[in-house]
């Protein structure tokens, strides 16, 4: 019984409502792709969304330079130079990669080149997240930064939204506090501080971890976007079809 409770608690502490939201955004994008359409997962990593595209002709690209369990990509390459002909893909998935690119406009230009006219791209990236996959971590993005870069390469933005609501952002931050707060006596100076601060820090860690579970659960019930800020943005953009280009000339 105790082991069961421990396991459930560990699962609850590890639960990440942003990944839950991301999964559903990608599932919705995948459901729009007709069977057999050509899809590129750019910066696929462990390819967590591959199964959602099993009805399509799915390919992936990644430079595989970070130490993690990659799923072998179709193309091992830098995203700034993908060895595929112009206008090949109907859909491009580009999730949680843009912050890792030193020259994001070059990669967006390359993805624009690979999209068919009328094709769609799903882009997500963080506004608020700790450094990860070092040393390949360069930027965080506001919605204005996304708009500037995406429109600069000639893509049309259909929508920009918060990926998660503020409860998800809070859940994440509380979880990080719970994990990272120092609590050992040697982290502090003076005998009184060494006695009292570890007790305070351990209580804070427990409080933050438990309340992070609550906020992640709240996120699943309410996507609160009226105040606060998201952890990530999600953008759907498309490449204008030839007729649209002619009309706007
Ligand atoms: C945080 S992971 C995201 C993986 C996946 N798209 C997802 O949403 O879970 C970022 C991925 O981008 C890849 N990446 C980063 N910079 C790259 C570059 N210049 N060229 C190709 N892949 C790159 C990394 O190898 C990593 O797999």
Q: For 187-206, what is each residue's pLDDT tens digit?
A: 999 999 999 999 999 999 99
Alpha-carbon distance of 47 to 107, in angstroms, equals: 19
Radius of gyration of the CA atoms of the chain, in A? 21
Interval between CA 217 and ligand 1 midpoint (Å) = 28
Domain 2-165+224-242: CATH class, spelled out: alpha beta
Buried b (16+ CB within 10 A) or exposed e, 125-144: bbbebeeeeeeebeeebeee
pLDDT at 217 over 80: yes
Q: % helix / strand / coil in the chain, to the nearest 5?
A: 45, 20, 35
Interval between CA 40 and ligand 1 midpoint (Å) = 13
Of 58, 100, 109, 133, the residue with max ligand 1 atoms within 8 A of its CB, to mutate for a pocket test, comes to 100
Q: Confidence class of residue 50 from pLDDT cuts 50, 70 and 90?
A: very high
Residue ranges of domains in the chain? 2-165+224-242, 169-218
Mean pLDDT of the chain: 94
Tell me the C-alpha to C-alpha distance, in Å, between residue 123 and each of 160, 196, 232, 247.
Answer: 9, 47, 10, 26
pLDDT at 16 over 70: yes
Interval between CA 133 and ligand 1 midpoint (Å) = 9
Q: Confidence class of residue 240 from pLDDT cuts 50, 70 and 90?
A: confident
Residues 93-105: what's their mean pLDDT?
A: 98
């Amino acid at each position: 019984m105790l082991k069961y409770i421990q396991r459930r608690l560990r699962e609850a502490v590890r639960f990440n409502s942003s990944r839950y939201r991301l999964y559903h955004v990608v599932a919705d994008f995948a459901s729009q792709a007709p069977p057999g359409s050509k899809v590129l997962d750019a910066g696929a990593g462990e390819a967590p969304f591959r199964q959602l595209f099993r009805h399509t002709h799915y390919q992936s690209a990644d430079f595989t330079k970070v130490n993690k369990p990659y799923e072998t990509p179709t193309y091992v390459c830098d995203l700034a130079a993908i060895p595929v002909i112009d206008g090949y893909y109907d859909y491009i998935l580009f999730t949680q990669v843009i912050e890792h690119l030193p020259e994001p406009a070059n990669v967006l230009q390359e993805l624009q080149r690979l999209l068919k006219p009328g094709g769609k791209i799903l882009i997500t990236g963080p506004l608020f997240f700790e450094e990860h996959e070092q040393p390949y971590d360069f930027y965080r993005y506001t919605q204005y930064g996304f708009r500037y870069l995406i429109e600069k390469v000639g893509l049309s933005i259909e929508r920009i939204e918060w990926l998660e609501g503020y409860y998800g952002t809070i859940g994440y931050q509380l979880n990080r506090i719970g994990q990272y707060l120092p609590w050992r006596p040697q982290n502090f100076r003076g005998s009184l501080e060494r006695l009292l601060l570890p007790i305070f820090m351990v209580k804070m860690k427990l409080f933050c971890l438990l309340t992070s579970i609550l906020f992640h659960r709240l996120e699943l019930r309410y996507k609160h976007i009226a105040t606060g800020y998201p952890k990530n943005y999600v953008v759907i953009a498309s490449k204008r079809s030839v007729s649209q280009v002619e009309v706007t000339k």
